[in-house]
Structure 1
């Protein structure tokens, strides 16, 4: 009964975990939105409006209304100066910015005057800057949020402006239809990209898939090195179709076996990092910082592979399942590679604090999109990768040393008992 019951239970539980993680990741990003950082920049200097003339700062009024109306638990609306907003956009700290022009109030007053007097008028503008280097989905959220918020702002300002103009005209003067339509929607909203991505960046997904390849190369590489080295040392049979040659087990300790596997993986990681860089150039993917990308790629694969090998050395075959859960099942949805962490359930943020793929993604994104700027995620990604490598080295060294010390070597022939099934 164990032959079919246990595998069925493991597969069911593993599939349930995958469904919980992946479906919870994508089902309702709008509902899961929290602490989503957007800057609000008010450059309006104000002007005199109305009759009698009265000083107004419409940009400041819009800022106050947005700060009060925007749900603080969903949107982290940061009121910043233009220089600080651009600095945070360049560093990937913001997903977008809403910028009220410096002559907003003046243009609004001129627009009201222009509805009854001849002459050319310009509508007041609010510019929405998305940050495509933080991902296409993040830019889409910024656009949707600003569209909703500024549509309401436009309608409110339009009603006030229309009432002011009608009061100035008096009850005996009708407002032309075209002028009324303009006054009802006085604000021009301009959506632009801040520092657009070059062609070949996959709309901001190239960094995610590059990081995913690095993680899979480290995880799968650990399994390949573990199996092939064990086969070469005679600890497991190496099967070729119906043939299963099995060489005599080598006299080597568990710790030295693990050191050998680590060495093979380190060499392979550098070869893979070089191959990935060549492929990226062949596919015309923009790589402005090839040396940092090569060095970090090799480092990330070594950290993931060394930890994966250590888990296999400590747990045996069960380590395959642990590696799958830690590096892939939990790693993909918490990576922030396609959907921002701020648009996923909050427990993904907890996972992202230590999950390897998120650390690798933020570092690779910083190298590819933010000129290898340490403050844009490269420094944190590097140190977390180093911490993961240290944990992997400690786990492997301690576990195999203990097994060797208590005499749990791998070169003793096992007693075989055959039974009919």
Structure 2
């Protein structure tokens, strides 16, 4: 039923295709027809399962160099004529006991800790208050002296703008570490109170059972958010899904542009169910064809970026820096689209699989968006140094959650997108130019 656009007899396109492949040659063996797809599918699925299951199944076991700030503001106190500083004791205990290979515990001042939190450089902070020692002394005295007292507290600041799961890890790590410290401080405080009572005029007096329960765990641990996220951010997931939209716009956009432009230029037939149209092959070089495809994806990028922002606005997503997000999304879509088109121009049909692996298979788990990279296998962090999705995520997260500042990731995102775009342009232009010079034209002979 097929008729090509030149008006030739039905089925003439099949003759052309046969000649291009080498008319009269032997047909592929059945084992080759079956084996090649099976091998490719098996290898791709093995890679997928390694990346995706390795990414998600055991983040606590994979924890490494997870950055948390530790702030000791304790001014100390005088007890029995001797200076004491419980904050120093707790800082030393945490530094010694928290596994250095799993948690990067950074002892800083409060100002530096706030800066690290604001830039997304740490996932949380443990803050020891300035009156910690004094309140513990008051608590010890209050165990035997009537009166109202307040339990001293240590504050754990989480950083929800770095991700929901990162917040959970901060809480788990800090609670595990502070439970041990709290128990040790409680034992010391109980011993101090007992010694003071036994050495006093009424020696032999015992602390009540209720008071011992308080003294056993004297420090209250408060969990607070540093700069909570506003409504409409999906608890910190909106940046990831917007990143996914941008990457898919470049990746799938390139596939669509490649197929439709090749069809319009007559390099491949267009099928509509049982019908097809095969236009005459246009006299375009490989480089000229690639330039045309680059032009189409470049024009599409601002349109698609505008659609994304418009829909986000309609759905109630906060867009305080809409222009920055619009411009960065354009850059990212062009960078991904141009590179994907170059890979297709260089490797042909195999470029489809290469693009899938580069932008999706390796990109999603190494983005560091849902589970922080410090809680994934170390090869994920290595992939994140160059994988496009991670760079784009850093830029979008900085725009949406960190006031579009450069330090939290926008500067790196822009720089890596420009670098990736340059690589795509050079790769595509140079290789297609060489193909053209060698006479490797895209037409039947």
**Same fold, TM-score > 0.5, yes or no:** yes
Q: Which residue of 1 aligns with 2:231?
A: 199
**1:71 is the counterpart of 2:102:** no
1:344-393 Cα offsets, whole Å, 9 max, x none, are 11111110000000000000000000000001100011111111100000
Q: Which residue of 1 aligns with 2:55?
A: 25
For 2:104 and 2:43, the matched residues in 1 are separated by: 37
What are the residue-to-residue correspondences of 1:229-248 with 2, within 5 Å? Answer: 229-248=261-280
**1:37 is the counterpart of 2:72:** no
Secondary structure of 2:68's counterpart equals strand
Post-superposition offset of 1:69: 0.8
Q: Which residue of 1 aligns with 2:315?
A: 283
Q: 1:177 aligns with which of 209, 221, 224?
A: 209
Unaligned runs of 5+ in 1: 415-421
Secondary structure of 1:239's counterpart equals strand
1:62-98 Cα offsets, whole Å, 9 max, x none, are 0011111111111000001001100110000010000
Q: Which residue of 2 aligns with 1:221?
A: 253
Secondary structure of 1:230's counterpart equals helix
Q: Which residue of 2 aligns with 1:135?
A: 163
For 1:244 and 1:403, the matched residues in 2 are separated by: 29
**1:150 is the counterpart of 2:178:** yes
- Relative to the length of structure 1, the TM-score reads 0.97
Secondary structure of 2:67's counterpart equals strand
**1:16 is the counterpart of 2:40:** no
**1:389 is the counterpart of 2:389:** no
Post-superposition offset of 1:172: 1.9
1:325-361 Cα offsets, whole Å, 9 max, x none, are 1111011110001010100111111100000000000
Mark the structure with the bigger radius of gyration: 2
Post-superposition offset of 1:174: 2.0
Q: Which residue of 1 aligns with 2:151?
A: 123
**Dislocated runs of 4+, deviation >2 Å:** none
Q: 2:85 aligns with which of 57, 72, 90?
A: 57
Secondary structure of 2:320's counterpart equals coil
For 1:53 and 1:216, the matched residues in 2 are separated by: 68
For these two proteins, the number of residue pairs brought into alignment is 411
1:166-199 Cα offsets, whole Å, 9 max, x none, are 1111152121111111111100111000000000
For 1:146 and 1:369, the matched residues in 2 are separated by: 24
Post-superposition offset of 1:118: 1.2
For 1:92 and 1:287, the matched residues in 2 are separated by: 19
- Relative to the length of structure 2, the TM-score reads 0.92
Secondary structure of 1:244's counterpart equals strand
What are the residue-to-residue correspondences of 1:282-301 with 2, within 5 Å? Answer: 282-301=314-333
What are the residue-to-residue correspondences of 1:374-385 with 2, within 5 Å? Answer: 374-385=406-417
Q: Which residue of 2 aligns with 1:83?
A: 111
Secondary structure of 2:275's counterpart equals coil
CA RMSD of superposed structures (Å): 0.7
1:245-288 Cα offsets, whole Å, 9 max, x none, are 10100111110100000000001111100000001001101111
Secondary structure of 1:191's counterpart equals strand
Post-superposition offset of 1:316: 0.5
Unaligned runs of 5+ in 2: 1-30
